[in-house]
Amino acid sequence: NVFRPGDVVLLREVLRPSLAILSGPLRLPTDTEDKPPSICTHRGEVRHTAILNAHPRTLVKSHTAGATFVVTFPTLEEYVNLRRRKVTPIYAFDAAATVALADIHIDEREHTVYEFLEAGTGHGSLTLAIARIIHAANANLDKNAPRKAILHSVDRNKDHATYGVKNLREFRRGLYAADVDFHAPSTPSEYLQSRLESIRDHGESQTAFLSGAFLDLPSPELEVEVVARCLKTDCPLVVFAPSITQIVDVIEAVRAKNVQLSMCKVVELLPGMGGSMREWDIRRAVVRNPPDRKEEGGSESQERWVCRPLVGERIVGGGFVAVFRK
């Protein structure tokens, strides 16, 4: 498995592995370019041609400063955290925790299509987390077979939606791209109403079609009534919000409109590296011995373990998640 044009890769300097650089899609140089495509780093530029056709974990050098980097595919966390953004993302570990709270299970023995809604495509980080969970249901299907699981991601901001699509398609060669359909209605309710009308036009008595829904919106309380009508019985509605007052607004809307939803739990995602986790710095380091502890004839320094919370890293994540079931 070698790097190909279109791949997005991660560079880590061998001497400073805590510093990571995410590339854009790799490509070959063209005849019209004065300068070959390169990845700009803090230690010079690494040309795309030095990476193309190389295997993951190959060592490459910047052609200007001669620094050595190890090149790999990015993890989902690295991809989400280091990708250029137009909106603030739900960071990867927080997105994974949010999806885990929905407790999604797809039974391939059932003759049904599992459909999920994500309202608020944004950066595409939650999209990737949901698609990662449902992907297995579609992975082994024949080329022309209908999908077993589908995520409908909606965002009224077409720039955000376009960028979310781009992020999905450029992660791991579009591994999860076929699992997601994107829509750009004025509101999530508009999209859902059109789906309900289509189901009624086909004469189906059962109008509920969603096996789960995720809301990441400024005013999620405006959408819960229609979302609840589209949810199948005992299926989850998960609301992510930066502020606890937004969660309260959803709870009040459910009560005031007598929406058929039961609140299961509300949790806080603590700031850190996401997912309520804190990264630690664990490494061997050369420590100089104090003069009063230096033994006669002994070394002035010795190797010791450094074990402490990692400092100087960007604090990410945080927010609140409410889980409801119909």
Q: Which is nearest to 276 in space by CA: 77, 97, 75?
A: 97
Domain that holds residue 144: 77-272+317-325
Find residue 69's DSSP bridge partners: 13, 60
Please report the sign of the dihedral spanned by the C-alpha atoms of residue 192, residue 210, residue 90, residue 69: negative
Domain count, the chain: 2
Asked whether residue 46 carries a pLDDT value surpassing 90, the answer given is yes
Residue linked to tokens 């009224």: 156
- Mean pLDDT highest for which of 11-20, 264-273, 286-295? 11-20
Same domain for 131 and 46?
Answer: no
Same domain for 47 and 82?
Answer: no
Query: How confident is residue 24, by pLDDT bands cut at 50, 70 and 90?
Result: very high
Q: What is the largest CA-CA distance in the chain?
A: 93
Query: What pLDDT sits at residue 317?
Result: 66
Same domain for 67 and 203?
Answer: no
Per-residue model confidence as pLDDT tens digits over 87-143: 888 889 899 999 999 999 999 888 899 999 999 999 999 999 999 999 999 998 887
Per-residue model confidence as pLDDT tens digits over 223-281: 999 999 999 999 999 999 988 999 999 999 999 999 999 999 999 888 766 666 667 77
| Position 13, amino acid | E
Find residue 39's DSSP bridge partners: 46
Boundary residue ending a domain (25, 55, 74): 74
Same domain for 67 and 91?
Answer: no
